[in-house]
């Protein structure tokens, strides 16, 4: 039987962990698990990050209000498993907490969060986590089959959107600086001037 971990110093930061391990952690630090490796999340997001996240959540929530898809916001565990692998807690090596995500397949939802790729993920860049979001998570979401990925860049007042093509590769769209329109939900249009205000 596993013991509960209450201090990050009890973990080997170079070790490989599963979702079953993650469930035993009672830490003050926010962590994500990507391919079995621990990634420390930034401390509590700054005010601008939270304002942007809140406004996007309100806009998206209103859009999906009478829709079968649902919007979730962090902290919310999204467990991603490799294709053709088992989805038991001991076989899942990736748990992320996107700022926002849209899930249309209710079968992916359980009491722990989401098991499988959301349809749309939104990550808002914060100082210090840009490399992780732009590189590691880009590849992770692409290979996991997240259909659309928005990378919000507060410093530029812009959103970079990527859409999965038929071959499973992200195609970058023109950066959104005025109106952000979803490719997979074409009626979802967001006025970015209001979001970044």
| CA distances in angstroms from 12 to 17, 37, 187, listed in the order given | 9, 10, 46
Q: How many CB atoms lie within 10 A of CB 121?
A: 25
- Separation of alpha carbons 7 and 65, rounded Å: 40
What is the per-residue pLDDT for 2? 67
| CA distances in angstroms from 4 to 18, 33, 157, listed in the order given | 14, 17, 42
Mean pLDDT across the chain: 92
What is the per-residue pLDDT for 88? 83
What is the per-residue pLDDT for 131? 73
pLDDT confidence of 127, banded at 50, 70, 90? confident
Q: What pTM value is reported for the model?
A: 0.93
What is the per-residue pLDDT for 41? 81
- Separation of alpha carbons 163 and 138, rounded Å: 11
pLDDT confidence of 1, banded at 50, 70, 90? low
Pairing between β-strand 120-124 and β-strand 179-181 as defined by DSSP bridges: unpaired
- The pLDDT tens digits for 129-164 are 667 677 899 999 999 999 999 999 999 999 999 999
- The pLDDT tens digits for 31-84 are 899 999 998 887 777 899 999 999 999 999 999 999 999 999 999 999 998 766
What is the per-residue pLDDT for 86? 65
What is the per-residue pLDDT for 85? 62
- Separation of alpha carbons 147 and 184, rounded Å: 8
Over residues 8-22, the mean pLDDT reads 92
pLDDT confidence of 126, banded at 50, 70, 90? confident
Residue 167 DSSP symbol: T
Half-sphere exposure of residue 165, counting CA atoms within 13 Å on the CB side? 6
């Amino acid at each position: 039987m596993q013991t509960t971990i209450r201090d990050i110093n009890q973990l080997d930061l170079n070790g490989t962990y599963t979702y079953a391990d993650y469930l035993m952690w009672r830490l003050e630090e926010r962590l994500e698990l990507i391919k079995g490796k621990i990634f420390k999340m930034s401390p509590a997001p700054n005010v601008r990050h939270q304002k942007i996240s809140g406004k996007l959540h309100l806009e998206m929530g209103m859009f999906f209000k009478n829709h079968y898809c649902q919007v979730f916001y962090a902290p919310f565990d999204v467990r991603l498993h490799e294709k053709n692998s088992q989805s038991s807690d001991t076989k899942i090596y990736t748990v992320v907490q996107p700022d926002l995500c849209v899930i249309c397949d209710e079968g992916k939802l359980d009491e722990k969060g989401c098991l499988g790729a959301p349809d749309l993920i939104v990550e808002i860049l914060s100082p210090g986590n840009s490399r992780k979001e732009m590189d590691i998570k880009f590849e992770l979401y692409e290979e996991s089959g997240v259909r659309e990925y928005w990378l919000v860049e507060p410093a530029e007042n812009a959103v970079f959107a990527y859409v999965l093509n038929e071959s499973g590769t992200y195609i970058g769209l023109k950066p959104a600086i005025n109106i952000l329109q979803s490719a997979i939900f074409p009626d979802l249009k967001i006025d970015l001037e209001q979001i970044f205000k």
